[in-house]
């Protein structure tokens, strides 16, 4: 299992910016290898370093064959370099999301492979008494992250209520649905049909309106959650 080395934190949290994305585009369009190397060193490397560091710690990708976090990051960054030429902003993806996605996917495969090796080599009695052989803590962390996201999601919609739901009935339904999110820990209704009935009783609005508003909220949820998991 990996040993995490301490490293001084930078002053700014904005390590992967629009300027980074523009630098990647310039890197891909630059024919001179020396100029490309300079662009990478000066404008891209640190962003890749912080991106890999954050994803490794956030998702606890600690099952590895190397001893230091920097060694694992070096492997991931080498992989990212091999994929750098594939990034095309015209496809609609932001560089941060694009490289965050392939970093996470690479680490999932790598981490799972090494976790399985660790379990196969471990004595049977150790599997039951050592948390290092379990993903339980990681699962709990994911639950906490989801809860934080839902709170942020509700706040995001609340702040833009007039934009998304300008009509009275739509706003009424949206607020009722958000109330279910707010009180989710005490909610005992999990059946979709029962939830529809519950919302209809709260708002007095017909089912087609509920369905329409639900679709808007669902689309927003997917979009925001996709961005959130790569932060």
pLDDT tens digits for range 130-153: 444 444 444 455 566 677 788 888
Mark the ranges of the chain whose per-residue pLDDT is less than 50. 1-12, 119, 122, 124-139, 231
Phi, psi values for residue 98, rounded to 5°? -60, -55
Helices (H) and strands (E) in the chain, counts: 11, 0
Q: Are 1 and 121 in contact (CB under 8 A)?
A: no
3-class secondary-structure state, position 116 = helix
- Among candidates 53, 61, 46, which has minimal Cα distance to 15? 46
d(CA 161, CA 175): 9
What is the per-residue pLDDT for 13? Answer: 57
| 87-111 residue pLDDT tens | 999 888 899 989 998 998 888 888 7
- Among candidates 18, 20, 101, 93, which has minimal Cα distance to 59? 101
Q: What percent of the chain has pLDDT over 70?
A: 75
What pTM was estimated for this model as a whole? 0.50
What is the per-residue pLDDT for 188? Answer: 62
């Amino acid at each position: 299992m990996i040993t995490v080395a301490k490293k001084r934190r930078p002053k700014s949290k904005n390590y992967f910016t629009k300027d980074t994305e523009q630098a990647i585009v310039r890197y891909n369009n630059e024919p001179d290898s020396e100029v490309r190397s300079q662009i990478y060193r000066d404008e891209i490397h640190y962003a890749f370093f912080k991106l890999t560091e954050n994803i490794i710690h956030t998702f606890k990708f600690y099952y590895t064959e190397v001893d230091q976090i920097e060694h694992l990051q070096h492997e991931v960054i080498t992989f990212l370099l091999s994929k750098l030429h594939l990034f095309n902003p015209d496809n609609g993806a932001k560089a941060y999301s694009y490289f965050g996605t392939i970093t996470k996917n690479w680490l999932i495969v790598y981490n799972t492979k090494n976790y399985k090796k660790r379990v196969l080599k471990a004595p049977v009695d150790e599997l039951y008494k050592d948390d290092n052989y379990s993903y339980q803590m990681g699962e709990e962390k994911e639950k906490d992250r989801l809860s934080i996201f839902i709170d942020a999601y509700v706040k995001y919609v609340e702040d833009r209520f007039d934009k998304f739901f300008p009509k009275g009935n739509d706003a009424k339904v949206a607020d009722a649905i958000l109330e279910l999110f707010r009180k989710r820990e005490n909610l005992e209704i999990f059946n979709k049909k029962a939830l529809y009935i519950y919302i209809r009783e709260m708002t007095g609005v017909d089912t087609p309106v509920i369905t329409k508003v639900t679709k808007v909220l669902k689309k927003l949820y997917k979009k925001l959650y996709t961005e959130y998991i790569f932060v």
